[in-house]
Amino acid sequence: MDPFQQILKSTLARTDDAPPAIKPQALLEAELKPRIAHVAVDDFLSLAKARRTIYTLGKDLPIAEDEVVDIIKEAIRQAPSAFNSQSSRALILLGKEHDRFWEMVRDQLRKVIPAESFHATSDKLDGFAAAAGSVLFFEDQEVVTHLQRQYIAYADNFPVWSEQSSGIAQYAVWLALAEKSIGANLQHYNPLIDLDVRAAWQIPESWKLRAEMNFGSIVAAADEKSYIDDDKRFIVAR
């Protein structure tokens, strides 16, 4: 049976077994209220606009490190994933561990970039190391292959959906940090650094590194951003 049908059937079966009592509207609203964020769409869109790539970051976080960690975890926890497979994983690095990570990247890049042009790369890495921390986003391939075996008809889709889930998780974290006036930028030194990262922080073999996000205090604003025309981008039909 189609997996979506299966999910639908099991949901219906549960409600068939014990039909829910009809609740008064006021009770329903009260129950739903805590699930609806107290954020107006305009506020959400302002936040979406405020989230930018910030390259000049510092170590003076405006909130406690533990709070930042909780925000990152919750943003990833609440991010959607195909079949609620929750394939996203994260390594959150702070303080000396963050610095250690960027030294690791520097060591690997030194091996592949000609010495005469390495200073530019090294300066860039200094900028990343100047941030307060980093989030390394992984996707657990064990989850992906398990789903592929379970739902053969969708086998080709699961790796794609896993990548999409990772992107959503990254964006969720980026937005949540922006709301706390914490700047961030997104980097991709994987797969060059995968083995070093795995060894340094005992990362399970099935975790595939997808992106590295630096975060910290905003020392300099983002560059101006340009936008392509709406008519190249959107089709509205009614």
Catalog residues that contact ligand FMN under the rule CB under 6 A.
Answer: 52-53, 185-188, 222, 225
Query: Minimum distance from CB of 98 to ligand FMN (Å)?
Result: 17
74 contacts: CB under 8 Å, gap ≥ 6: 176
Nearer to ligand FMN, 97 or 163 (CB): 163
CB-based contact 206:141 (threshold 8 Å)? yes
86 to each of 90, 133, 148, 149, 221, how far by Cα in Å? 12, 24, 15, 17, 34
Helix, strand, coil shares of the chain as percentages rounded to 5?
A: 55, 15, 30
Nearer to ligand FMN, 168 or 222 (CB): 222
Query: Minimum distance from CB of 40 to ligand FMN (Å)?
Result: 22
- Number of other CB atoms surrounding residue 70 within 10 Å: 12
Nearer to ligand FMN, 99 or 212 (CB): 212
Nearer to ligand FMN, 14 or 225 (CB): 225
Query: Minimum distance from CB of 120 to ligand FMN (Å)?
Result: 14
Nearer to ligand FMN, 111 or 225 (CB): 225
- Number of other CB atoms surrounding residue 44 within 10 Å: 13
Query: Whole-angstrom Cα distance, residue 155 to residue 144?
Result: 9
Nearer to ligand FMN, 108 or 148 (CB): 108
Burial 155-193 (b: 16+ CB within 10 A, else e): eeebbebbeebbebbbebbbbbbbbeebbbbebebbeeb
Query: Minimum distance from CB of 108 to ligand FMN (Å)?
Result: 15
Query: Minimum distance from CB of 112 to ligand FMN (Å)?
Result: 16
Query: Minimum distance from CB of 132 to ligand FMN (Å)?
Result: 17
3-state DSSP of 108-149? HHHHHCCHHHHHHHHHHHHHHHCCCEEEEEEEEHHHHHHHHH
